[in-house]
Structure 1
Amino acid sequence: MTERNNNKLPSNLPQLQNLIKRDPDSYKDEFLQQYRHFLSNMEIFALKPSSYSQTLAELVMFVAQVAHCYPDELANFPQQLREQLHRNATVLDPALRMTFCKALIALRNKGLLPPITVLELFFELFRCQDKLLRKTLYNYIVQDIKMVNAKHKNSKVNTTLQNFMYTMLRDSNAIAAKMSLDVMMELYRRNIWNDAKTVNVITTACLSKVTKIKVAALTFFLGKDEDKADDDSDSDSEPDRKTAKEVMLGHRVGKKTKKRAKKMQKALSVIKKHKKKKKPSSFNNAALHLIHDPQGFAEKLFKDLEGTTERFEVKLMLINLISRLVGIHQLFLFNFYPFIQRFLQPHQREVTKILLFAAQASHDTVPPEIIEPVLMTIANNFISDRNSGEVMAVGLNAVREVCSRCPLSMTDTLLQDLVQYKTHKDKSVMMAARSLVQLFRQINPGLLHKKDRGKPTEASVDLHVRQYGELDAKDYIPGAEVIKPEPDQKEEIEQEDWEDCSDDDSDGSGEWVDIHHSSDEEAQDAETEQLNPEEKLKRAQEVSSARILTQEDFKQIRLAQIRKEVEGAVKGKGKKRKSTTKTVDIDANDEQEGGDLVKLTSIELVHKRPRHDKESRLATVLAGRKDREKFGHKERANPRASTTNKEKKKKKPFMMVKQKILRKQKRSFKDKQVALKNSLLKKQKFQR
């Protein structure tokens, strides 16, 4: 007892807390004394909840830290805190409210509270006008749900919280709804709640009347422009970061030591690492694929777009999301094309993005007569000699991207008019028109003039132009005829018997040496070329159905398909020189570029020499000065020769030549009249 009195346990809560955790039974009386003190303070606090009490805050944290030691006595403690926060959350003192929340977090971490009880209360506390509290609760909610689903998905907790958060998104308090949306999006990005239900709950926020909530939900589906964010961050920190050239120049000055050289190499490695560092794209295509009713969702978004009064940037986000939905899910939203057609003007702000959205919304299941007016609008407004070369090139690029997704929307008359720009004086226009020609050589060469179709290739001969609604389904892998079919079982047996009888010709180890001849592939190609189309089709069907193709087989098929697009269809006679096919290195795991979406660089691609910055221009100037004679008067052959009056004038003092310089300056008409008059009078005087 003497030791306890010396330590002053009733007033020293941290020491008492430490002792209770070590031996709860020995200090139960002291704990009960503090707990009664806590109850009396809670009764006083209930009379005036807006006041702050330092004693109550210390007692709350003390009881929360030792709650696991006395579970029977503190069975009602969590409920008391929850009731106070639920009843007086908006009027509580911010510091005391934060203390209550931290006490509940401590109880939850000790396993004394179920997750749903705490998390639902914390979602309701998002309504409080306390930024620090909202940030703290946001981080804890995300971390707690992550821990709940760490070992396995807790479907019961997830479903209950998702239903509760669905109601929170429709809460009258915009801040609480926005924070709930941020929690759901963060959980999806961390692959904790990456299911369809989470995505479809977020889709409801895209139709919110609150601009911040709508923009946040649209950004989730569209992704952020990470490259732009990196550029902004780089530009902000550019004055503090040295370039590699500056580091090298700094090393040239001063004493050369090993320590300085090592420091320079380290700085160069950091700069090189920073250049290579790239953030992954935040756009996740899977979210758009998980939407239950994309057609209905796109129609609701378009209805909201037609009646919205938001700023232009929000409208662009809506148009972008609608175009992605239409392109990825191949939806029918015919009113969208006349709507976007109004913005297709060269002077329109962000017109390249709008052209991108028009290309994204195009697909081969849309009737050609729906997209044809969009092409005509682009051709009339952009591809005209009254516009600059960049505008014409952007228009041609947009037409190419639209036609690559909906080839039937292009008419032969319009195409032949656009092809004439392949000889335009502007290089960007010429290259854009040639890329359009190259596209139609692959998808529909019949729309081009005969002179523009190019040399017929094997791929162009076998090309079949599908009509609207036609499905080209194959029961074989195109190009599989280049794969050598497996030998029959009888041939395998004969081969084995022949090998058994030929042990004398072996290399002594009883095994045959497999020698690969470089002419094997050429013989296989020659054998394939001798087959007629019916035999090639039959062989491709046999190979596709009789064996499982490996990655090397698919690589060989892709090489053969590329070779078909390069080699001519008519071989042998009429060749001026032997055709050579370049070896193409293809990885079987490579994915096709482009994917579901159109890249903005495909629209903005302008073949034009870029302007030099200051550093590159200075480097060009210095390179031109190298090995060049200096300007100025050369040295005299005879150093004793006399100098000219012009050279003497350069060495004269300025005051001696000042009057002559002033006389040569530009004079007004009045001064010229006076000077002429004085000159004439002077001449007349001398003549007398």
Structure 2
Amino acid sequence: MSDRNRNQLPNNLPQLQNLIKRDPQSYIEEFLQQYRHYESNLQIFQLKPTQHSKNLAELVMFFCQVSQCYPKELAGYPQQLIDLLQRHSTVLDPDMRMTFCKGLILLRNKGLIEPTSLLELFFELLRCQDKLLRKMLYHHLVNDIKRINKKHKDNRVNTTLQNFMYTMLRESNVAAGKMSLDVMIELYRKNIWRDAKTVNVIVTACFSKITKIVVAALKFFLGTNAEEDDDSDSDSDDDAPNQRTLMMAQRVNKKTRKRQRKTQKALKVLKKDKKKKKAVSFNFSALHLIHDPQDFAEKLFRQLESSNERFEVKLMMMNLVSRLVGIHELFLFNFYPFLQRFVQPHQREVTKILLFAAQSTHQLVPPDIIETLVRTIVNNFVTERNSNDVMAVGLNAVREICSRCPLAMGADLLQDLVQYKSYRNKAVVSAARSLISLFRGINPEMLHKKDRGKPTEHSREIRAKEYGELVAQDFIPGAEVLKDQTGEEENEDSEESDSDDSEGGWHDVVHSSDEETEGKEDEESNPAESLTAEEKKARATAISQTRLLTQQDFKDIKVHQLSKQLEGSKSNKRGTKRKHVEIDDEKSGEVLSLNRIEGINSRPRHDKEARLATVMAGREGRKKYGSKKGRMNPNASTTNKEKKKKKPFMMVKQKIGVRVKTKRSFRDKQIALRDSLLKKQKRH
């Protein structure tokens, strides 16, 4: 480089930066000159940190870019920036503070700063009243912690940061606490900090004095389920190329065989990675990772009772308490009388409150407590003074509560509710019938004989459980339908002997029709069909204890158990309505859906706007007057009715009057005769 260009380098930092990265040792003097210039500007800036210094900002970014070229000379440079931000974080000029943070992020990406000290500093900077800065720090915190735990979990860094976040949540600063909580929730969603400690730190946020933090923590526990976890696993690897980007690159770039082979290979690798991720993913709900759910539910319920928050926040607290009680089968007896105060048809969001009442019931709650709640719902909802929809919602809520705690329903109350099966409204009838079908499956003895339905083998096996009763079986119910393993081994041995004998002997030729009939006979023959109840139990016990069951075996058992609900008993076996049994593989989740309460099988009456909309939709595609169909033959002659429409009115006026008189009903003739007689009487 010429001397002239070399003298211009101090004023051209981008060019000097480019040259230093290419050959650091040749430009050591220029670098030291800029470093002395930086120190003098830094001393001036520390006297007035609230002012913006353009020269210092450019020098800071310059040294962050070339820091890897002079590690000895810039050994203390990162700590200088950290001390500067710690000392003047709240009073710094926003642009200068943003520049210092960007420089530290650049140094961290190059591996020149330890993650613990920098991340703690950034968590402290979340207190600053700078929205753009907080947004940038949030993304860096999430991405940096994700990068640290990408190959293996760094427990030391994770523990330090979690403890620091715990202290941040307890501070009075709203922005810092909320942003710290958002970072933890995002890391949990991305499957990075998916451990019990993270969840229990978020538990403490539910008792914060700041409403925003409480709402964010409640939404985390209420919104984290298996479906969102599956989505989070797919979104956790943001940097990896997906199928859409690969196909777009193939479409845009030049079409060659080599590029096409590369794309196909990349798609295969991507497909394998997806299979691996699905196989290794363990989706646990956050509610299962809480250390002491009983204590958490009690504290949250006390906070709910004394809370002055708006009604939406109280609903979220009710929802979380009900889920905790239902999932962990907790004892919180004061919660049910608390809900009874809100169980009124005019109450806002009453269907959600009924949902919480159903979620919080389980078989270990004393039936007397739940029976009071059920009677309150029946008295307030299932009465004829209410609308049909209100009655249906009340019956649905009673059904969901009784499905979790059957002993809460008394025989007299059940008989009263069953009478609504012949009500005048379809929605109420459907809700009452669903209640009948529920008790047919759990305790048919509480119903009248006419409401128990057709007796089946399944209904004969049903026995109502007492309070706190657990049935510990030593066999798999329905395993008697499987074949014995000894019989299968004998069949295999016989096949082997036949194959040995067939080497030098005759070969039996079997017709295809014979195979079909034999296959049908094998399908129809059931080894457990002619056994008694004791023999079935002994056979199921023997099979369960002597062999390992496969997935197909469990599927056959499930088909057999479902067929018991469809087929009649031996004493009353006239036939079945359905011979084909469909297996529903979808399992109901641990959280109750609101559709179970609000699901009303009735069509609402159309208002005027809806009826007008259907009328206008029917007029589309036709003329202004006349029918849609039109004439089959446009050249055919017109009918007499159409000809009458074209005649002058005076020509058809007399015929219209005669036709009206002839088509009068007997009642109309009576009225006309009475009027004419009265008229004549007045004249005389």
TM-score, normalized by length of structure 1?
0.80
Paired position in structure 2 for 1:477: 476
Check conservation: 1:444, 1:465, Cα contact below 8 A.
yes
Q: CA RMSD in A?
A: 2.7
Determine the C-alpha separation between the residues in 1 that align with 2:77 and 2:385. 79
Paired position in structure 2 for 1:626: 628
Paired position in structure 2 for 1:342: 341
The offset of 1:55, in angstroms, is: 0.4
The offset of 1:475, in angstroms, is: 1.4
The offset of 1:454, in angstroms, is: 1.2
The offset of 1:548, in angstroms, is: 1.7
Amino acid at match of 1:118: L
Structure 1 pair 498–319 and aligned structure 2 pair: CA distance change class (3 A): same
Paired position in structure 2 for 1:35: 35
Paired position in structure 1 for 2:184: 184
Paired position in structure 1 for 2:141: 141
Paired position in structure 1 for 2:666: none
Paired position in structure 1 for 2:576: 579
Structure 2 unpaired stretches of 5+: 228-282, 632-638, 654-684
Paired position in structure 1 for 2:586: 591
Check conservation: 1:475, 1:541, Cα contact below 8 A.
yes
Name the SS of the counterpart of 1:528 in structure 2.
Answer: coil
Paired position in structure 1 for 2:236: none
Amino acid at match of 2:435: L
Paired position in structure 2 for 1:269: none
Check conservation: 1:482, 1:524, Cα contact below 8 A.
no
Determine the C-alpha separation between the residues in 2 that align with 1:344 and 1:505. 81
The offset of 1:523, in angstroms, is: 4.1
The offset of 1:452, in angstroms, is: 0.9
Check conservation: 2:226, 2:284, Cα contact below 8 A.
no
Residues 471-620 of structure 1: pairs in structure 2 closer than 5 A: 471-487=470-486, 493=493, 496-503=496-503, 504-506=505-507, 517-525=518-526, 527-571=527-571, 575=574, 578-586=575-583, 590-592=585-587, 594-610=588-604, 613=610, 616=614, 618-620=616-618
Paired position in structure 1 for 2:92: 92
Q: Percent identity?
A: 60
The offset of 1:633, in angstroms, is: 11
Amino acid at match of 1:180: S
For residue 644 of structure 1, the aligned residue among 644, 650, 653 is: 650
Amino acid at match of 1:87: R
The offset of 1:520, in angstroms, is: 3.8
The offset of 1:625, in angstroms, is: 4.4
Structure 1 pair 85–442 and aligned structure 2 pair: CA distance change class (3 A): same
Residues 110-121 of structure 1: pairs in structure 2 closer than 5 A: 110-121=110-121
Map Cα deviations across residues 575-632 of structure 1 (whole Å, 9 max, x no partner). Answer: 3xx4353313437xx232x221111001001111146657655445669943379xx9
Map Cα deviations across residues 316-373 of structure 1 (whole Å, 9 max, x no partner). Answer: 0000000000011110000100001110000000000000000000100111111111
Amino acid at match of 2:600: V
Paired position in structure 1 for 2:296: 297
Structure 1 pair 643–299 and aligned structure 2 pair: CA distance change class (3 A): closer
Structure 1 pair 86–536 and aligned structure 2 pair: CA distance change class (3 A): same
The offset of 1:76, in angstroms, is: 1.1
Determine the C-alpha separation between the residues in 2 that align with 1:5 and 1:13. 13
Determine the C-alpha separation between the residues in 2 that align with 1:7 and 1:620. 85
Check conservation: 2:218, 2:317, Cα contact below 8 A.
yes
Residues 117-132 of structure 1: pairs in structure 2 closer than 5 A: 117-132=117-132
Structure 1 pair 490–557 and aligned structure 2 pair: CA distance change class (3 A): closer
Amino acid at match of 2:593: K
Determine the C-alpha separation between the residues in 2 that align with 1:56 and 1:528. 88
Amino acid at match of 1:604: E
Determine the C-alpha separation between the residues in 2 that align with 1:518 and 1:377. 58
Determine the C-alpha separation between the residues in 2 that align with 1:517 and 1:638. 75
Name the SS of the counterpart of 2:534 in structure 1.
Answer: helix
Structure 1 pair 603–190 and aligned structure 2 pair: CA distance change class (3 A): same
Amino acid at match of 2:399: R
Instruction: Between 193-202 and 487-496, report the one with greater CA deviation.
Output: 487-496
Determine the C-alpha separation between the residues in 2 that align with 1:224 and 1:646. 77
Residues 177-216 of structure 1: pairs in structure 2 closer than 5 A: 177-216=177-216
Runs of 4+ in 1 over 6 A off after TM superposition: 224-227, 513-516
Residues 316-355 of structure 1: pairs in structure 2 closer than 5 A: 316-355=315-354
Determine the C-alpha separation between the residues in 2 that align with 1:226 and 1:182. 20
Map Cα deviations across residues 542-563 of structure 1 (whole Å, 9 max, x no partner). Answer: 1112222222211111111111
Determine the C-alpha separation between the residues in 1 that align with 2:619 and 2:387. 30
TM-score, normalized by length of structure 2?
0.80
Check conservation: 2:455, 2:572, Cα contact below 8 A.
no
Determine the C-alpha separation between the residues in 2 that align with 1:327 and 1:638. 73
Structure 1 pair 98–533 and aligned structure 2 pair: CA distance change class (3 A): same
Structure 1 pair 642–132 and aligned structure 2 pair: CA distance change class (3 A): closer
The offset of 1:518, in angstroms, is: 3.4
Determine the C-alpha separation between the residues in 1 that align with 2:652 and 2:516. 87
How many residues were matched structurally?
578
Determine the C-alpha separation between the residues in 2 that align with 1:637 and 1:99. 90
Name the SS of the counterpart of 1:364 in structure 2.
Answer: coil
Determine the C-alpha separation between the residues in 1 that align with 2:284 and 2:369. 27
Structure 1 pair 617–313 and aligned structure 2 pair: CA distance change class (3 A): farther
Paired position in structure 2 for 1:263: none
Structure 1 pair 285–421 and aligned structure 2 pair: CA distance change class (3 A): farther
Check conservation: 2:200, 2:290, Cα contact below 8 A.
yes
Residues 244-255 of structure 1: pairs in structure 2 closer than 5 A: none
The offset of 1:186, in angstroms, is: 0.4
Structure 1 pair 73–424 and aligned structure 2 pair: CA distance change class (3 A): same
Structure 1 pair 508–35 and aligned structure 2 pair: CA distance change class (3 A): farther
Determine the C-alpha separation between the residues in 2 that align with 1:616 and 1:586. 39
Name the SS of the counterpart of 2:348 in structure 1.
Answer: coil
Determine the C-alpha separation between the residues in 2 that align with 1:352 and 1:601. 10
Determine the C-alpha separation between the residues in 2 that align with 1:307 and 1:642. 83
Determine the C-alpha separation between the residues in 2 that align with 1:603 and 1:90. 52
Paired position in structure 2 for 1:151: 151
Amino acid at match of 2:540: A
Paired position in structure 1 for 2:56: 56
The offset of 1:297, in angstroms, is: 0.3
Paired position in structure 2 for 1:445: 444
The offset of 1:498, in angstroms, is: 4.9
Determine the C-alpha separation between the residues in 2 that align with 1:388 and 1:409. 25
The offset of 1:635, in angstroms, is: 4.1
Determine the C-alpha separation between the residues in 2 that align with 1:97 and 1:516. 85
Check conservation: 2:224, 2:286, Cα contact below 8 A.
no
Check conservation: 2:225, 2:285, Cα contact below 8 A.
no
Check conservation: 1:458, 1:569, Cα contact below 8 A.
yes
Map Cα deviations across residues 369-388 of structure 1 (whole Å, 9 max, x no partner). Answer: 11111100000000001000
Determine the C-alpha separation between the residues in 2 that align with 1:316 and 1:500. 75
Structure 1 pair 645–616 and aligned structure 2 pair: CA distance change class (3 A): closer
Map Cα deviations across residues 646-673 of structure 1 (whole Å, 9 max, x no partner). Answer: 99xxxxxxxxxxxxxxxxxxxxxxxxxx
Structure 1 pair 199–69 and aligned structure 2 pair: CA distance change class (3 A): same
Check conservation: 2:224, 2:285, Cα contact below 8 A.
no
Check conservation: 2:395, 2:431, Cα contact below 8 A.
yes
Map Cα deviations across residues 66-123 of structure 1 (whole Å, 9 max, x no partner). Answer: 1111111111111111111001000000000000001100110110001111100000
The offset of 1:516, in angstroms, is: 8.1
The offset of 1:522, in angstroms, is: 4.3
Paired position in structure 2 for 1:108: 108
Structure 1 pair 552–7 and aligned structure 2 pair: CA distance change class (3 A): farther
Name the SS of the counterpart of 1:67 in structure 2.
Answer: coil
The offset of 1:501, in angstroms, is: 2.8
The offset of 1:494, in angstroms, is: 5.6
Check conservation: 1:364, 1:405, Cα contact below 8 A.
yes
